[in-house]
């Protein structure tokens, strides 16, 4: 063995004496691996450089090439290539297009990203606002969660913007896998190494464990993530220090209120939670996402808004829908009033959602609405699709929701109005149930009144993001009631309006949404089909008792136009149909039977 080691050393020394190509200054136009043409140099470091390259096999396709001198025994490019290969199966990660070895250097070609977060902050010359910080918190946490390794070097310099409004992690070569196969060949958490470890990370952002030279786990990445967000928003107390020991001393004596100060108060909860985690613990990513989403909702932020460094938004979506006005927004999306460029004076509502969320609800809403299109008197679905940054769907433009109408009036609805609302909302629920779905979030805010003409008498059920099918095919391939899931379920609904079963985390189905008619509903079980006819009859009896009519205006409407009302009644007398809709026909038949 000694002579082999000597040969290797002599070979290394010989290679160092050879004239070497300056890999940090590759000429523009040079072709690498017969495919990648050097366009320009993007940057360099102590061990390598990064270039923008163009693919000769794909027209106008540009990527980023990272090169590293192969003399470095501790080179990191091989590790980066290995990690990126593992990530290729995951959505929304940096793509690896090519990798190889030249005579004097190694290279890899990956997705061409934008600027890193710290550069963007410096260009803005001001801290990021609370909304931007919370949006970045969600995006960067998603990027970190995708990685099945300990990144170690997590900092704002290694998180860049990919495409538009996307933060993606780049790896500094300090990553390490925290899982390994055990004696039985199964994947398990790797046992932490004993003794002091080499320092891996950036002193400004790393955790105390890293300073103490302990083994790093997922929790240490999250500490660096939190410190990075604080730095982007208000700055860290130790950001002017350079020496690691001084930074450690400052971290140890800085109390949470001083550290977080004017940051989103959700960061307090996140910090307290990170304090409880150990090396082997799996972080509650769902809880962390929820805290950040709660903060984003609190500041009325949306992933569809432009970042501070971006230009004006697009005005036309999918070449058809021109944005007219913004109607509202939530933590995961927004709703816009849009006008069709293909149909004159045709207005609709467009709901958009950032496609970052794996648990996004827009796809589910589109699926439910597609099933409802076979039925009359339901919200119409006009278009749906996916853009590079978001998903969208276009549906009927409705009026205000019931809760907003009540607040606008400044008083409760009368008994007559309540009974009419009971019938129309029950009909809307029946339509959803007959398609095989449970809404699971029935509340006044999800019932919208019609906007135009006779449609104003209708009340539509919207927002199917929590819906779930309660039917499935059995062993004989026949549709049957789906068996309820065992154990405690995730809470779905609004606490103010949901049923007791929902509070108990039991499986929900159609009867639970009619719990106000308590005496009847208490007799029903999960698999029972509600007696919709009986429920309609009860409501009609009440409406008849108070001499109510569906031809009257609602309390929130303008006074009726006597001429239009007379014409409507005259037309009804001639045709025998009070209103040209399946809903009114159903009401008429029911009322005649009472």
Residue 13 to residue 235: CA distance in whole angstroms = 47
Residue 244 to residue 497: CA distance in whole angstroms = 54
Closest by CA to 44, choosing from 19, 15, 64, 17, is 64
| Residue list, annotated binding site | 66, 351
Give the pairing type, strands 333-340 and 347-354: antiparallel
Q: Locate CATH 3.30.200.20 in the chain.
A: 20-110, 316-395
State the pLDDT at residue 394: 94
Residue 135 to residue 296: CA distance in whole angstroms = 7
- Residue 138 contacts by C-beta under 8 Å, 6 or more apart in sequence? 289, 292, 293, 296, 303, 356
Q: Locate CATH 1.10.510.10 in the chain.
A: 117-298, 402-593
φ, ψ at 51 (rounded to 5°): -125, 150
Per-residue pLDDT of the chain (594 residues; tens, 9 = 90+): 333 333 434 444 554 555 556 777 888 899 998 899 999 998 887 677 899 999 998 888 999 999 987 765 556 788 788 878 877 777 777 889 998 888 778 899 998 888 888 888 887 778 889 999 999 999 888 888 876 544 444 555 544 544 334 444 454 556 666 666 777 877 777 778 888 888 888 899 998 988 998 888 889 889 999 999 999 999 999 989 999 999 999 999 999 888 988 899 899 999 999 999 998 888 898 899 999 999 998 988 877 677 777 655 557 888 899 988 888 876 567 888 999 988 888 999 888 887 655 556 788 889 999 999 988 889 999 999 887 667 899 999 999 999 999 898 888 888 888 888 888 999 998 999 888 898 888 889 899 998 877 788 889 999 888 888 888 877 777 777 877 777 777 766 677 777 676 666 555 543 333 444 566 767 777 788 888 888 888 788 878 888 888 778 887 776 555 434 433 433 433 344 333 343 444 444 444 443
For the chain, how big is the Rg over CA atoms in Å? 31
Pick the CATH number of 117-298 from 3.40.50.720, 1.20.120.420, 1.10.510.10, 1.20.140.10: 1.10.510.10
Residue 303 to residue 331: CA distance in whole angstroms = 8
- Residue 561 contacts by C-beta under 8 Å, 6 or more apart in sequence? none
pLDDT > 70 in the chain, percent: 75
pLDDT digits (tens, 9 = 90+) for 221-263: 899 999 999 999 999 999 899 999 999 999 999 998 889 888 9
CATH class of the domain whose range is 20-110: alpha beta
pLDDT digits (tens, 9 = 90+) for 120-138: 888 777 888 999 999 999 9
In CATH terms, is domain 402-593 a member of 1.10.10.60?
no
Residue 13 to residue 15: CA distance in whole angstroms = 5
State the pLDDT at residue 559: 59
Residue 511 to residue 500: CA distance in whole angstroms = 12
CATH for 316-395 is: 3.30.200.20
| Residue list, annotated binding site for ATP | 66, 351
Contact 450, 458 (CB under 8 A): yes
Q: Which residues are catalytic?
A: 157
């Amino acid at each position: 063995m000694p002579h082999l080691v000597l040969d290797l050393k002599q070979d290394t020394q010989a290679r160092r004496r050879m004239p070497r190509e300056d890999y940090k200054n590759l000429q523009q136009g040079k072709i690498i691996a017969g495919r990648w043409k050097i366009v320009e140099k993007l940057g360099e470091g102590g061990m390598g450089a990064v270039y923008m390259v163009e693919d000769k096999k794909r027209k106008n396709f540009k990527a980023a090439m990272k090169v590293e001198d192969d003399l470095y025994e501790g080179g990191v490019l091989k590790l980066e290539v290995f990690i990126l290969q593992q990530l290729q199966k995951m959505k929304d990660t940096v793509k690896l297009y090519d990798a190889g070895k030249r005579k004097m250097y190694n290279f890899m070609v990956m997705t061409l990203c934008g600027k890193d977060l710290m550069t963007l902050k410096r260009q803005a010359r001001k801290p990021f606002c609370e909304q931007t910080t919370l949006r970045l918190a969600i995006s960067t946490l998603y990027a970190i969660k995708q990685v099945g390794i300990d990144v170690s070097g997590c900092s704002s310099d290694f998180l860049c913007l990919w495409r538009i409004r996307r933060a993606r992690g780049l790896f500094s070569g300090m990553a390490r896998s925290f899982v390994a196969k055990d004696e039985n060949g199964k994947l398990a958490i790797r046992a932490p190494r004993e003794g002091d470890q080499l320092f891996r990370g950036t002193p400004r952002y790393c955790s105390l464990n890293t300073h103490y030279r302990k083994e790093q786990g997922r929790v240490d990445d999250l500490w660096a993530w939190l410190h990075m967000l604080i730095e982007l928003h208000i700055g860290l107390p130790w950001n002017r220090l350079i020496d690691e020991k001084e930074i450690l001393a400052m971290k140890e004596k800085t109390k949470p209120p001083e550290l977080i100060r004017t940051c989103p108060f959700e960061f307090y909860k996140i910090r307290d939670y990170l304090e409880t985690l150990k090396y082997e613990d799996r972080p509650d990513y769902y809880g962390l996402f929820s805290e950040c989403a709660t903060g984003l909702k609190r500041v009325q932020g949306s992933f569809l808004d432009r970042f501070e460094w971006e230009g004006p938004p697009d005005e036309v979506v999918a070449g058809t829908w021109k944005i007219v006005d913004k109607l509202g927004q939530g933590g995961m999306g927004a709703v816009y009033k849009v006008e069709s460029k293909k149909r004159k004076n045709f207005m609709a509502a467009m709901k958009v959602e950032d496609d970052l969320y794996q648990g996004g609800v827009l796809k589910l809403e589109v699926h439910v609405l597609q099933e409802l299109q076979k039925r009359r008197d339901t919200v119409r679905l006009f278009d749906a699709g996916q853009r590079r940054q978001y998903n969208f769907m276009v549906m009927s433009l409705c009026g205000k929701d019931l809760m907003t109408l009540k607040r606008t009036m400044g008083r409760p609805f009368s008994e007559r109005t309540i009974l009419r609302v009971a019938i129309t909302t029950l009909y809307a629920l029946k339509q959803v149930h007959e398609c095989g779905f449970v809404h699971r979030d029935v509340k006044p805010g999800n019932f919208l009144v019609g906007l135009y003409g006779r449609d104003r008498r209708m009340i539509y059920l919207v927002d199917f993001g929590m819906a779930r099918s309660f039917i499935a095919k059995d062993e004989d391939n026949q549709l049957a009631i789906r068996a309820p899931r065992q154990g405690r379920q995730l809470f779905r609904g609004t606490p103010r309006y949901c049923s007791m079963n929902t509070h108990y985390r039991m499986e929900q189905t159609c009867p639970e949404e009619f719990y106000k008619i308590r005496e009847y509903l208490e007799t029903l079980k999960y698999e029972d089909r509600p007696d919709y006819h009986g429920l309609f009859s009860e409501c009609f009896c009440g409406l008849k008792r108070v001499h109510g009519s569906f031809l009257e205006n609602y309390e929130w409407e303008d006074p009726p136009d006597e001429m239009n009302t007379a014409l409507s009644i005259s037309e009804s007398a001639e045709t025998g149909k009070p209103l040209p809709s399946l809903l009114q026909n159903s009401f008429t038949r029911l009322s005649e039977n009472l």
